[in-house]
Chain A
Amino acid sequence: MDSRKYRTHVLVCAGTGCVSNRSMLIKDAFEQEIKKRGLEEEVQIIATGCQGFCERGPIAIVQPEDVFYQELSEKDIPLLVEEHFLKGRPYKKCMYVPEDAKKEIPKLMDIDFFKHQMLVVLRNRGRMDPEKIDEYIAFDGYQALAKALTGMSPEEIIEEIKISGLRGRGGGGFPTAIKWALCKKSPGDVKYLICNADEGDPGAYMDRSILEADPHAVLEGMTIGAKAIGASKGFIYVRDEYPLAVRRIKNAIEQATDYGLLGENILDTGFSFEVEVIRGGGAFVCGEETALMASIEGRPGRPSARPPYPAEKGLWGKPTNINNVETWANVPIIIQRSGAWYATLGTEKSKGTKVFSLVGKINNSGLVEVPMGIPLRQIIYGIGGGIPGGKKFKAVQSGGPSGGCVPASLLDLPVDYEKLTEAGAIMGSGGLIVMDEETCMVDIALYFINFLVDESCGKCTPCRVGLVRMKELLEKITSGNGEPGDVEGLESLADLIKKTALCGLGNTAPNPVLTTLRYFRDEYEAHVNEKRCPAGVCKALITFTIDPEKCTGCTLCARNCPVEAISGEKKEAHIIDQDICTRCGACKEACRFDAITVE
């Protein structure tokens, strides 16, 4: 371990978002420049896990000064190093400026996006190198494991989790302690434990981020769980689309095994537990626990009926306990700081914090952790900084394809399991997709039904056939052919599928349609009765026109039109031929004078 004492640390984000924004080149540039200036004994450059503020990537934080740099490019680095590290004045050009303000905010903890968060699960994000176990240990890592293995009985571990009130973070919200106790009670010598990292909900990426930023916390949680349940082998089922997460968790397993914190005879206590990584094959339904287990066994991931539940008969017929990544990552800090402490966070029935991915039509996209019960408004406006371009907030979609849309009228809703369910949505894995006035809710319902038609495994008829019928009705409505009775048809199909589908995917599949109908029925009716798409999205129902007052005749739109539907002389107003126009929107995107309107 590098034991040199540095004056300053530069923490460069190396989460997938920033890496794809070339953050590794930024890290190299920092290293080169620091060396060139002879500062390598004083300034250390560290690649960390996802720091959360993905919208502004690539980002870097300088500690202990707590200065936040954003949207870095390699060109910025020489000047930044000179200004910050030699001259001692933080480099303004790369600082964060809020959407409606003019002045830079230098310090991380003064930025709204960070200020209002509460980091429990993500406590190590952006402060350590996730590829080095020593750094995890330096931040009290594996202390909980030592406590659990040397000083607690399995019953005591489960009791502590029970006191904490921890519930499953994968979506269902089932109390973790009850799940563990059931599996522990199940007769059998061989028991398995699974970490569900098949994060399939579109718009949710907290599990990927946790595996990338703090893989040892997941391993430590799993090992404590294994001791409580009496499991000897664990599997992490992770999406193959997350190559960085796969690499980091495999690296963590190797390191923990080397240190005697995993594998045979852990910490000399006689307890053994090994963990294997299984890469998913890209099937959404494998996030469902019975399908996931079939996939680990090397079969197509088709769900089977429950009971029997995995706690009785799971992987290869043995008692099995499945929790998702975020749940496992909560376990070490509960054991370390006590269940009673954890229970002070959150609301009466939803304890602790929740990680949300705040994405879509929002200024500050990124990953945020907040205490349960925080009002939705605080997440969207306090942390997220509101909607870009001064547009109106319409709804937020929560819980992925099984979830629903919460409208603007419920902005003061406290976010916890119960309240979201009452509103018709679900907590799900924590994806919050923000929608503005230019998002069509019928189109969103169609989007999710399309998704589910693709991902339905085809085993049961209500899901396989019923969803296709719903899709046809929605397509009929968005293409302008909707008739009276179609909306009611959707409702009755939704009800039928909900009641009769085999697994969780099918049971919840109609939710996006049901919640959009509940809150945005007027939009459906506008499509059906007035043949109008109020948000200006559904192609068959909209027209693009050029405002002759605003058009300067720059010809940019005509040159960008792929079907030559736009004509006009230079410096004169242009016209769109509606018979040729395919409504692709290329002209609107190209126009610099805001002269093209959609109706």
Chain B
Amino acid sequence: MKSVKQIVERYNKRERSLIAMLQDIQKEKGYLPKEALKIVAAEVSVPLSRLYSLATFYKAFSLTPRGRHTINVCTGTACHVRGAAKLVEKLERDLGIRNGETTADERFTLEEVRCVGCCGLAPVMVIDENFHGKLTQKDIGKVLEKYQ
């Protein structure tokens, strides 16, 4: 948990930068481990409940571990009218999980997100940080193979 201290230092232990600290921890660990939150609370001198309220309010945070790869299916309006719901259905069926869940082998976490701003390529899904656009149900299998 040394890296958590470094993250806190990066923002000079400033209380107003709590969200940025949590974002960095989320990026590094894939979620917000309880131990990490305790360190942040102690270092910045805020109650743990304060961090919990941030972690549960903002969509970017997760309190449970995620899969090795996060699939974000864009469900913005443009993707919606071009069939995003069908992609979600196909993924849920193939992976055997629902929106927000992680596969038992911890390979994938599936999430719906609101507009990633690539509407020209709708419907879009983002795996980790890679964008895949103009998808149909048929394409899904091939795309997932790349992520083991």
Contact = CB atoms under 8 A, between A and B. Distances in A.
A298 interface: yes
Contacts of A57: 120-121
A448 B61 CA distance: 23
A242 B80 CA distance: 20
A599 to B, nearest CB: 18
A9 to B, nearest CB: 24
A185 B76 CA distance: 40
Given A241-B117, A298-B15, A586-B137, A447 B77 contact: yes
A41 B40 CA distance: 53
B2 interface: no
A531 to B, nearest CB: 21
A439 interface: yes
A589 B137 contact: yes
Interface string B1-26: 00000000000000111111011000
Interface string A270-282: 0000000011011
Interface centre among B61, B93, B129 (most CB of A within 10 A): B93
A562 interface: yes
Interface string B46-69: 000000011001111100000000
A455 B76 CA distance: 13
Interface residues of B, number: 46
A342 to B, nearest CB: 27
A360 interface: yes
A329 B113 CA distance: 28
A282 to B, nearest CB: 4
Contacts, number: 155
Interface string A282-324: 1110000000000111111110000000000000000000000
A525 to B, nearest CB: 22
B82 interface: yes
Nearest to B15: A298
Nearest to A431: B77
Nearest to A448: B77
Contacts of B131: 16, 19-21
A260 interface: no
B90 A584 contact: yes
A405 to B, nearest CB: 11
A357 B119 contact: yes
Contact of B77 (A203, A240, A295): A203
Contact of B76 (A203, A208, A298, A367): A203
B116 interface: yes
Contacts of B120: 17, 53-55, 57, 359, 365-367
Contacts of A560: 138
A359 B119 contact: yes
A355 to B, nearest CB: 13
Given A360-B78, A397-B77, A282 B59 contact: yes
Interface stretch (A150-158, A194-202, A373-381): A194-202
Given A202-B76, A204-B117, A281-B22, 20 more contacts: A16-B118, A16-B131, A17-B121, A54-B121, A202-B114, A209-B117, A240-B23, A243-B129, A278-B19, A279-B20, A279-B23, A281-B19, A282-B58, A298-B54, A359-B77, A365-B78, A447-B80, A562-B90, A585-B86, A589-B136
13 contacts: A17-B133, A20-B132, A54-B120, A199-B117, A281-B61, A283-B57, A298-B19, A301-B58, A359-B122, A444-B81, A447-B80, A585-B86, A589-B136
Interface of A: 16-17, 19-21, 53-55, 57, 199-205, 208-209, 240-243, 278-279, 281-284, 295-302, 357, 359-361, 365-367, 397, 400, 431, 433, 435, 439, 444, 447-448, 451, 454-455, 457, 560, 562, 584-586, 589-590
Interface of B: 15-20, 22-23, 53-54, 57-61, 75-78, 80-83, 86, 89-90, 93, 113-122, 124, 129-133, 136-138
10 A-B pairs closest in CB distance: A54-B120, A20-B131, A281-B58, A202-B76, A205-B117, A282-B59, A359-B119, A202-B115, A359-B78, A300-B57
